[in-house]
């Protein structure tokens, strides 16, 4: 349906995207995952025909849309990272304005605005000015605006940034429902692994402009099929303990947070008892120790040596 | 030109909500009214202010209606231009900074429609504010001083309106290059100040300059025949078209990915 073929994008000295290949099939939810600065937003902007790549091609139903973007523009709805609304207009006025821009008119426009307000749960607030909305309500309206013209593909650039858990879950459910009921294709970028894990059929993982892994969730987790993740929790760490872990020959990756250390180790090696005795040796008050199957977060850690939110 | 009418309607609705349609005409009306009123009551004001020697008599010759209205236009040159620039500086930049330009750009809206809609909506607001205030000043001038003919008034308004077309195009064009309100206002005022200074220092070489239209508007009040009118009008129209084309070209170069 939609393809990025060997796309690169350079901004002066920065190469934001390097030789990216990506395909999107009708009706699937694609996750584009990576930390800040990974190149996700640039990839999304190229996919939305907002910027032209320095090299490569964007194809929609096998036809290039770089020079003639209108067939793709009609088919996509873009939810930008920012709250792209007019705060001094009401929810209804914002929807009417963007609907008219898309040449919806009269009763068709009114009907569509009502449907959208219902879908995003803002019917009661239709007359209220957007400046009085909470962050979550603005995000929902942002999504509503992108869906007005019944797009085939919804492109969402981190739509849950900075909102409360309730609104976040509402948005995730709405995306899931749109995909199921309307067969809407969704491209969803996030640096929240659990959102991508919950929503997406296939995932592309980017880091520093490169595509570092792609496939279904299961395929990506297979990258670490021969490894285990060990999570150690304690109130504090000491440097000697961390150095010891990093220098251990059977530990492939060590990621340190304030109260948790995550290790990636080969499955055949049992480090459980060894770690417990190390914590005693370095006088660390251990709170818990878990061995678990690798998550997408662990795969990212394994591939890049960094956590997603670093 | 698709969507231009919708964009203009949205601009006006937004300007109503943020009060631009209220404060700008009121500010201009106060600016315009203050000139005939202060000139008329100047002797009383000086007397109230005090500080004059005992027995001194204030004898200010009464200016003609044309001179009073010329004073109003001088007020517009300084404070009026500042108000116009301040009211226009954020019309593009706030849509770029809050991302709503992305919602518009991925829809079938051309850069031409977008820039022209901004220009037309601002220009209508400015022309209405300017005309209302100038007619109010004319009304007080006619009552308090001497009668100025409607032909002279509308001739002056016509010339000044061409200057406003240029002013709006300049601020919009600068807005497509910069991303902060203060820098847009600073650069726009800087360009206008350089043009005005050059006209003062080398008037012979600056007869073409758009800033000449401000003095031509004054001339239109005071004389029946205005000298060297067509050169600055032609240049101003051409420069306005160039600035709008520049803004459209620049908008097509915008980077939406935050780099």
Question: Cα A59–A63–A69 angle (5° rounding)?
Answer: 70
Whether this prediction's pTM lies above 0.80 is answered by no
Q: Which residues 6+ apart lie within 8 Å of A219 measured at CB?
A: none
- ipTM given for this complex: 0.79
Q: Compute mean pLDDT per 10 residues along chain B, 259 residues long, and list them.
A: 83 90 92 88 76 68 85 87 90 83 76 93 94 93 88 91 95 93 94 92 87 88 76 94 95 71
Q: Is B242 helix (H, G, I), strand (E, B) or coil?
A: helix
Sheet holding A260-266: strands in order across?
A253-256, A260-266, A227-234, A286-292
Compute the distance between CA of residue A54 and CA of residue B212 in angstroms, rounded to an integer: 45
Distance of CA A274 to the CA centre of its chain: 37
Average pLDDT of the residues in A90-105: 91
Position A178 scores a pLDDT of 84
Which residues on chain B place their C-beta less than 8 Å from a C-beta of chain A? 2-3, 6-7, 9-10, 13-14, 17-18, 98-109, 255-259
Compute the distance between CA of residue A254 and CA of residue B133 in angstroms, rounded to an integer: 72
**Quick check: A43 pLDDT over 80?**
yes
DSSP character string of B11-67: HHHHHHHTTHHHHHHHHHHHHHHHHHHHHHTHHHHHHHH--PPTT----PPPPPHHH
* Percent over 70 (pLDDT), chain A: 97
Convert the pLDDT of each residue in A109-129 to its tens digit.
999 999 999 988 899 999 999
Position B187 scores a pLDDT of 96
Location of structure tokens 């999304």: A44
Position B191 scores a pLDDT of 95
Most confidently predicted of A50-54, A223-227, B254-258: A50-54
Question: Cα B109–A65–A78 angle (5° rounding)?
Answer: 55
Position A306 scores a pLDDT of 66
User: Please, are residues A178 and A155 in contact by the beta-carbon 8 Å criterion?
Assistant: no
User: Please, are residues A99 and A113 in contact by the beta-carbon 8 Å criterion?
Assistant: yes
- Collect all residues of chain A within an 8 Å Cβ-Cβ radius of residue B259: 11, 14, 16, 42
Calculate how close chain A gets to B10, using CA atoms only, in Å: 7
Q: Please name the residue of chain B whose CA is at the shortest distance from the CA of residue A46.
A: B257
How does the average pLDDT of chain A come out, rounded? Answer: 86
Position A89 scores a pLDDT of 92
Q: Please name the residue of chain B whose CA is at the shortest distance from the CA of residue A144.
A: B103
Convert the pLDDT of each residue in A197-206 to its tens digit.
888 889 888 8
User: Please, are residues A165 and A133 in contact by the beta-carbon 8 Å criterion?
Assistant: no
Question: Is any Cβ of chain B less than 8 angstroms from the Cβ of A210?
Answer: no
Give φ, ψ of B43 to 5 degrees: -60, -45
Position A308 scores a pLDDT of 59
User: Please, are residues A158 and A81 in contact by the beta-carbon 8 Å criterion?
Assistant: yes
DSSP character string of A103-172: T--HHHHHHHHHHHHHHTT-GGGTTSBGGGS-HHHHHHHHHHHHHTT--SEEEEESTTTT--HHHHHHHH
Position B256 scores a pLDDT of 65
Of the candidates A70, A81, A82, the beta carbon closest to that of B108 is on A70
Location of structure tokens 């994008």: A9
- Least confidently predicted of A162-166, A184-188, B29-33, B236-240: A162-166
Convert the pLDDT of each residue in A227-274 to its tens digit.
778 888 888 888 888 888 888 888 888 888 888 888 888 877 778 788
Q: Is A292 helix (H, G, I), strand (E, B) or coil?
A: strand
Compute the distance between CA of residue B84 and CA of residue B29 in angstroms, rounded to an integer: 14
User: Please, are residues A250 and A269 in contact by the beta-carbon 8 Å criterion?
Assistant: yes
Instruction: Give residue A191's pLDDT band: very low, low, confident or very high (50, 70, 90).
Output: confident
Q: Is B229 helix (H, G, I), strand (E, B) or coil?
A: coil
Of the candidates A45, A78, A101, the beta carbon closest to that of B3 is on A101
Average pLDDT of the residues in A134-146: 89
- Collect all residues of chain B within an 8 Å Cβ-Cβ radius of residue A49: 106
Q: Give the A window 91-150 contacts with B, CB below 8 Å.
A: 93, 97-98, 100-103, 129, 145-146
């Amino acid at each position: 349906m939609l393809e990025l073929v060997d796309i690169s994008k350079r901004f002066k000295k920065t190469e934001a995207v390097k030789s990216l290949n990506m395909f999107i099939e009708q009706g699937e939810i694609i996750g584009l995952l990576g930390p800040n600065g990974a190149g996700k937003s640039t990839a999304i902007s190229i996919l939305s025909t907002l910027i032209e790549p320095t090299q490569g091609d964007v194809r929609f139903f096998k036809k290039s849309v770089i020079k003639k973007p209108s067939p793709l523009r009609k088919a996509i709805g873009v939810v930008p990272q920012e709250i792209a609304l007019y705060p001094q207009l009401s929810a209804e006025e914002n929807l009417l304005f963007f609907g008219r821009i898309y040449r919806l008119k009269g009763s068709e426009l009114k009907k569509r605005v009502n449907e959208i307000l219902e879908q995003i749960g803002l019917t009661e607030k239709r007359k209220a000015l957007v400046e009085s909305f909470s962050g979550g309500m603005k995000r929902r309206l942002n999504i509503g605006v992108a869906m007005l013209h019944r797009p085939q593909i919804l492109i969402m650039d981190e739509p849950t940034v900075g909102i409360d858990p309730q609104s976040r879950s509402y948005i995730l459910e709405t995306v899931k429902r749109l995909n199921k009921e309307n067969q809407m294709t969704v491209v969803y970028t996030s640096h929240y692994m659990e959102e991508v894990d919950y929503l997406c059929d296939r995932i592309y993982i980017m880091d520093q402009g490169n595509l570092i892994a792609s496939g279904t969730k299961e395929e990506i987790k297979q990258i670490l099929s021969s490894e285990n993740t060990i999570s150690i929790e304690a109130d504090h760490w000491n440097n000697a303990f961390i150095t010891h872990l990093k220098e251990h020959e059977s530990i492939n990756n060590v990621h340190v947070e304030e109260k948790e250390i995550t290790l990636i180790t080969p499955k055949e090696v049992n480090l459980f008892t060894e770690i417990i005795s190390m914590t005693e040796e370095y006088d660390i008050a251990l709170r818990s120790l878990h061995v678990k199957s690798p998550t997408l977060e662990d795969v990212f850690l394994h591939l890049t040596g960094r956590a997603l939110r670093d | 030109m698709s969507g231009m009418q919708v964009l203009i309607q949205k601009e006006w609705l937004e300007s109503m909500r943020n009060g631009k349609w209220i404060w700008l005409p009121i500010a201009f009306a106060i600016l315009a009214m203050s000139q005939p009123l202060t000139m008329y009551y100047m002797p009383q004001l000086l007397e109230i202010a005090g500080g004059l020697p005992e027995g001194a008599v204030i004898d200010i010759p009464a200016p003609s209606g044309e001179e009073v209205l010329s004073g109003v236009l001088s007020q517009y040159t300084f404070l009026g231009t500042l108000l116009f620039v301040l009211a226009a500086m954020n019309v593009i930049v706030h849509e770029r900074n809050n991302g709503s330009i992305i919602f518009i750009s991925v829809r079938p809206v051309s850069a031409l429609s977008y820039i022209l809609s901004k220009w037309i909506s601002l220009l209508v607001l400015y022309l209405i504010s300017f005309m209302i205030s100038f007619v109010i000043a004319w009304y007080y001038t006619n009552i308090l001083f001497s009668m100025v003919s409607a032909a002279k008034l509308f001739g002056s308004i016509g010339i000044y309106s061409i200057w406003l077309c240029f002013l709006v195009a300049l601020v919009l064009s600068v807005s497509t290059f910069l991303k902060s309100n203060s820098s847009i206002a600073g650069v726009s005022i800087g360009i206008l100040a350089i043009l005005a200074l050059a006209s003062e220092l080398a008037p012979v070489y600056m007869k073409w300059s758009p800033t000449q239209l401000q003095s031509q508007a004054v001339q239109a009040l005071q004389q029946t025949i205005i000298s060297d009118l067509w050169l600055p009008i032609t240049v101003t129209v051409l420069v306005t078209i160039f600035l709008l084309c520049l803004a459209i070209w620049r908008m097509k170069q915008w980077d939406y990915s935050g780099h």
